[in-house]
Chains A and B, each alone.
Chain A
Amino acid sequence: MVADVINNGYRMETGDAGLRFKPFGSWIIRNLSEVERALGDFKMPENRLPVVIDLSDIEKIDVAGAWLIHRSAKKFAAANHPITFESVGRGARILLHEVAESDRPAEIPPPKPSTAATLVTDTGKSVISSVGDVRRLVELIGSMAMIGVNMVRRPATLRFTPILYHLEQTGVRAIPIVALICFVIGAIIAQQSIYQLRDFGAEQMAVNFIGIVVLRELGVLLTAIMVAGRSGSAFTAEVGAMKMREEIDAVRTLALDPIEVIIVPRLTALVIAVPLLTFIGDMSAMTAAAIVSFFYGGVPIDLFIERLRDQVELLNFTRGIIKAPFMAIVIGLVAVIEGLQVEGSTDSLGRRTTSSVVKSIFLVIVIDGLFVLYYAMVDG
């Protein structure tokens, strides 16, 4: 390594009368790392001789440099050296004065608790917050029910324009992606099941399997997951940004109910849109399955349709699509609850949006499982 030439540093001179601390060069913020490095090897002399801080070799100084001189002076003072300043220019004097005046002990942040302790407290916190989630859910469902009753009595309170707007955003605009995803999944399932059943020469049986799996479970599940990712996150971000910018408070002060104005239209739109999207997804998946069966399994299209009609009962379709409105409600409620909990920082907006999507996808799958259990019990 090349030996560093220190342009900005200090010299320590020992004379008869005492010590002389002589900073030199430019003690300004641009050179601060160099000055700090130079000061790093500073050793406090083990005596109590008076120290003169001589600024005659300082070319330039700014507030950061003044701070370092002030800090060095404090160190001398702490080691019981009497200190005097010499050759302090006018600018440096003002800076040293300002720095001394603004010097105060920093507030020490409390020490971080150990990992084990954090683990326990975090677990506790998340349990408590889940209880809070349930409470907020119950509250929200309660006020929604009140508004629902109100709407039935006075249908004029239903806001059609926003509902139509959100229907377009969450429904119409989601058609291409939902149709595409279901098409691809339908094709994959068709290929896999035909491949497995081919050994038994039962390619046609694949239609039963595909029909039941897609119409009963996968169509609605995929649609709901897509909607949770697309619209759930959007709702959380919208409501969260409105909360951050006090728009929700503004709605309240205008003698309007935020639930009625902001939440009900979004939820209504979702409840209408998700079943329709599910239907589109189902049809798209079945189309893909028919095409794959024809080319890969050699099942003619008319035979595919015939088997679908005869073997896969309508019940499978209705049992699938009946889940859609429930999933829509869960997605909407989770999105809104998370959105309303956004606090001041952009950080919390991001966190809430993430947790909205994760929670709603999780709950959508749980709901699907509950329906499966229910049907199993009903059918005996």
Chain B
Amino acid sequence: MAINPRAIKTTGYLLEAEGLSVGFGATNIIENLDIQLKRSEILGVVGPSGTGKSVLMRALIGLLPRRAGTIRYFGRDIDKLSLSARRKVERRWGVLFQHGALFSSLTVRENVQVPMREHMKISQSLMDELAELTISMVGLAPNASAKLPSELSGGMIKRAALARALALNPDILFLDEPTSGLDPVGAAEFDELITSLKETLGLSVFMVTHDLGSLYRACTRIAVLGGKKVMVEGELDEILAFDDPWVQSYFHGHRAQTAQIQQAEQNKVHV
């Protein structure tokens, strides 16, 4: 009986990239990289600056052309899809950019309604209700919906952008440095929000981050980039035991200990 090993491997992965190479000019930023995203997990992607974390994310969502490699979403190779099938796949992921990338001339409510208006044929009143629901779910006050992005604080911009990313009820959520620029309390709240949304909405999250706190609080699996590839991936314990100078100094340095202490204290409070 012939069993296709690839078929077995693909099951259970929402997103699967194989042999991915992306680069600018003469150099490849990432080369022959493999990465997978499972259902209902929060994958944290970390690594030293310049190892191509954001490049990887942008390549996965098709904003950067790749030089080699295949990307499969929901088990289907995106290169082999027709344009309309591809658009359908694209509607099943939501992206939160580092600086929010809200449309500055639209209010928060209108920002959230942009994808609904483009992709769904529903009445304005239902669209208003759904936008308000999403805005409320990401923890923004009712008076935020009518505000323009320039009137929001940094944390509120992230939440509003998250609401827009969630507008079409995606299966996969891509987050680029979601907690950068937030204070530690705001960052912790944002991590909690992501975790609870993952639970209620059944999201799978691909998170590029620098924030050790997010790795401890939110991520269920971690991938460390280095040397143009995924250097190591696994749960936190496995990463902590990995023998690499950067990993060791990142996870065992002073910052890491602070994050651990914070986490321990938070656990105490919760108990």
Give me the interface of A with B, judged by CB distance under 8 Å.
Answer: 28-29, 32-33, 36, 62-64, 67, 71, 91, 94-95, 97-99, 102-107, 109, 343-347
Q: Is the CB of B120 within 8 A of A29?
A: yes
Q: Is the CB of A344 within 8 A of B150?
A: yes
- Say which one of B43-51, B140-148, B178-186 lies at the interface with A: B140-148
Residues from chain A with Cβ under 8 Å of B81 in the complex: none
Decide: A64 and B150 in contact? CB cutoff 8 A: no
Residues of A within 8 A of B137 (CB): 63, 98, 102
Min C-beta distance of A293 to chain B, whole Å = 53
Are A344 and B123 neighbours in the complex by a CB distance under 8 Å?
no
At the interface, yes or no: B121 with Cβ under 8 Å from chain A? yes
Determine whether B11 belongs to the interface, using a CB cutoff of 8 Å to chain A: no
Q: Decide if B132 is an interface residue (CB 8 Å cutoff).
A: yes
Per-residue interface assignment for chain B, residues 110 to 138, with 1 indicating a CB less than 8 Å from any chain A CB and 0 otherwise: 00000000001111001011101100110
B120 — which chain A residues lie within 8 A by C-beta? 29, 32-33
Closest-CB distance, A62 to chain B (whole angstroms): 5
Are B200 and A344 touching (Cβ within 8 A)?
no
Q: A63 touching B201 by the CB < 8 A rule?
A: yes
CB of B149 within 8 Å of the partner chain? yes
- B residues within 8 A CB of A63? 133, 137, 169, 200-201
Mark interface residues in B136-169 (1 if CB within 8 Å of A CB, else 0). 1100001101101111000000000000000011
Report how far A274 CA is from B142 CA in the complex, Å.
Answer: 53
B199 at the interface (CB under 8 A from A): yes
* Interchain CB contact under 8 A, B129 and A71: yes
Chosen A-B contacts, 11 in total, with CB atoms closer than 8 Å, are: A29-B168, A33-B120, A36-B123, A64-B169, A67-B133, A94-B199, A95-B200, A344-B104, A345-B105, A345-B148, A345-B150
The reply to whether B133 and A346 form a contact with Cβ atoms under 8 Å apart is no
Among B121, B200, B201, chain A packs the most CB atoms within 10 A around the CB of: B200
Closest to B92 in A: A30
Minimum distance in angstroms from B97 CB to a CB of chain A: 15
**In the complex, which of the residues A29, A91, A99 contacts B202, with contact meaning CB atoms closer than 8 Å?**
A91
- Note all chain B residues with C-beta closer than 8 A to A344: 104, 148-151
Please tell me which one of the listed residues B136, B149, B150 contacts residue A102 in the complex, with CB atoms under 8 A apart. Answer: B136
**Complex Cα gap A63–B148 (Å):** 26
- Please name 11 further chain A to chain B contacts, defined as beta carbons within 8 Å, in addition to the given A63-B200, A98-B201, A103-B133, sorted by A numbering: A32-B122, A33-B120, A62-B201, A67-B129, A91-B202, A95-B200, A102-B137, A103-B136, A106-B132, A344-B104, A344-B150
CA distance A346 to B122 in the complex (A): 29
In the assembled complex, which residues on chain A have CB atoms less than 8 Å from the CB atom of B143? 107
Question: Bound state CA distance, A344 and B149, in angstroms?
Answer: 8
Q: State which of A28, A98, A104 has its C-beta within 8 Å of the C-beta of B142.
A: A104
Docked pose: A284 CA to B35 CA in angstroms:
65
Whether the Cβ atoms of B142 and A106 lie closer than 8 Å is yes
A-B pairs, 8 with minimum CB distance = A344-B150, A347-B105, A345-B104, A102-B136, A33-B121, A106-B132, A29-B169, A98-B200
Nearest A residue to B168 by beta-carbon distance? A29
- How far apart are A354's CB and chain B's nearest CB, in angstroms? 14
Which B residues lie within 8 Å of A91 (CB)? 202
Known: A28-B169, A29-B169. A347 touches B104 (CB 8 A): yes
Query: In the complex the two chains form, what is the Cα distance from A128 to B150 in whole Å?
Result: 24
> Nearest Cβ distance between residue B38 and chain A, in whole angstroms?
18
Q: Which residues of B contact A67 (CB under 8 A)?
A: 129-130, 133
When chains A and B are docked, how far (Å) is the Cα of A109 from the Cα of B133? 16
Name the CB-closest residue of A to B105: A347
Shortest distance between the CB of A249 and any CB in chain B (Å): 15
Which chain B residues lie closer than 8 Å to A106 at the CB level? 128-129, 132, 142, 145
Instruction: State in angstroms the CA–CA spacing of A184 and B161 once bound together.
Output: 52
Other-chain residue from A36, A102, A347 in contact with B126 (beta carbon distance below 8 A): A36
Kindly state the separation between the CA atoms of A32 and B169 in the bound complex, as whole angstroms. 11
Contact A104 B132 (CB under 8 A): yes
Contacts of B169 in A (CB 8 A): 28-29, 62-64
Residue on B with the closest CB to A345?
A: B104
How far, in whole Å, are A338 and B172 apart by their CA atoms in the complex? Answer: 43
Residues in chain B near residue A102, CB distance under 8 A? 133, 136-137
Contact residues in B for A36 (Cβ distance below 8 Å): 122-123, 126
Are B150 and A99 in touch, CB under 8 angstroms? no
CB-CB < 8 A to A109: which residues of B?
146
**What are the residues of chain B within 8 A of A95 when measuring CB–CB?**
200-201
Note all chain A residues with C-beta closer than 8 A to B142.
Answer: 104-107
- Across the interface, which residues of A come within 8 angstroms of B168, CB to CB? 29
Closest B residue to A99 using CB positions:
B133
Interface centre among A32, A67, A99, A106 (most CB of B within 10 A): A106
Q: How far is the CB of A348 from chain B (nearest CB, A)?
A: 8
Nearest-Cβ distance from residue A346 to partner chain B, whole angstroms: 5
Closest to B138 in A: A102
Q: In the complex, what residues of A have CB within 8 A of residue B133's CB?
A: 63, 67, 99, 102-103
Neighbouring B residues of A104 by C-beta, 8 Å: 132, 136, 142
- Distance in angstroms between the alpha carbons of A92 and B133 in the assembled complex: 16
Residues of A within 8 A of B121 (CB): 33
| Cβ of A60 to closest chain B Cβ, rounded Å | 11
Q: Which A residues are CB-close (under 8 A) to B199?
A: 94
Give A296 to B91 CA distance when docked, in angstroms.
66
From residue B200, how far is it (CB to closest CB) to chain A in Å?
A: 4
- Cβ–Cβ < 8 Å partners of A71 in chain B: 129
Residues on the A chain within 8 Å of B129, using CB: 67, 71, 106
